[in-house]
Each structure stands twice: as structure tokens, then as C-alpha cells.
């Protein structure tokens, strides 16, 4: 999508890709409803929260031997651990944290995740959570 906005350093913006487009395209999965402080299993976030597609796929990919788990509970584990890590580093815009998240295709249960806090499409602060090695966000 072209844009007529001009950046004082880089000049005219020739292409932009919004968070809303990333959610619509499936690059990000909006989990704000589950992460918000009003959620039944309240995550405590007061801003929009999204998972990267890779993390969302891992959350949904429950190993056959884990019949005690479901997608909502696994997402809550990730959200909760991100919130705890963020509270420990309240001034950071990017935090690395660990969560136990076994998923099909991974030979380890403990995963290194990160969350990034930054401006969203309308300059409100947003949180994106994904694997430490995820790129492009």
C-alpha cells in the first residue's frame, strides 16, 4: 500500500504494512480478548496483544500425549509468562522469557519467547509475542 506520508529523515514512505493487515493476512493472531485484564482468565494487559503466526501454530499444535491441554490454556500460559517477564523489566521495550510449551515438531518443551512493546497503527502501544528467533516484527 502506498502512502503519501513524509518522514523527515527517510523521505516519502513508498510502502507500509500495518498491524491490522498483518492480522488480516494471518502473519499475526490477535489474542487481545484473552490477554486483557477483563478476560475470564485475565492476562492483565491493557493494550492490544498479538502472537506471531509461528507461535500461534505452536500453541495450537498440542502433542497427542498431552490430552490435559487445550489451545486456550496454552495461550494463557504464554500470556501470563509474558506479563510476568514484562513486569520484571518494566522499562524495556523487548523482553526475552521462557515458557514450557511442548508442540508437534519441537524436541524441547521449554521455549525462548520474546515480547515487543511498540506503537500500533494508531500510535497506541501494542504488544507482539513470538519466538525469540522470529523475524519481521
- Give pLDDT tens digits along the chain (137 positions): 444 567 788 788 788 888 899 999 999 999 999 998 775 666 788 889 999 999 999 999 998 888 888 999 999 999 999 988 888 776 778 899 999 999 998 888 999 999 998 888 887 889 999 999 887 66
| Contact between 128 and 50 (Cβ < 8 Å) | yes
Prediction pTM value: 0.83
**Alpha carbon distance 52, 130 (integer Å):** 5
Amino acid at each position: 500500500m502506498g502512502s503519501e506520508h513524509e518522514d523527515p529523515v527517510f523521505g516519502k514512505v513508498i510502502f507500509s504494512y500495518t498491524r491490522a493487515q498483518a492480522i488480516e493476512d494471518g502473519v499475526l493472531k490477535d489474542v487481545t480478548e484473552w490477554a486483557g485484564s477483563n478476560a475470564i482468565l485475565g492476562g492483565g494487559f491493557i493494550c492490544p496483544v498479538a502472537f506471531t503466526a509461528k507461535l500461534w501454530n505452536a500453541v495450537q499444535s498440542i502433542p497427542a500425549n498431552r490430552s490435559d491441554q487445550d489451545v486456550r490454556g496454552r495461550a494463557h500460559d504464554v500470556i501470563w509468562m509474558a506479563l510476568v517477564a514484562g513486569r520484571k523489566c518494566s522499562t524495556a521495550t523487548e523482553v526475552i522469557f521462557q515458557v514450557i510449551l511442548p508442540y508437534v515438531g519441537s524436541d524441547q518443551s521449554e521455549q525462548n519467547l520474546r515480547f515487543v512493546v511498540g506503537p500500533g497503527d494508531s500510535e497506541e502501544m501494542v504488544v507482539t509475542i513470538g519466538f525469540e528467533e522470529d523475524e519481521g516484527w
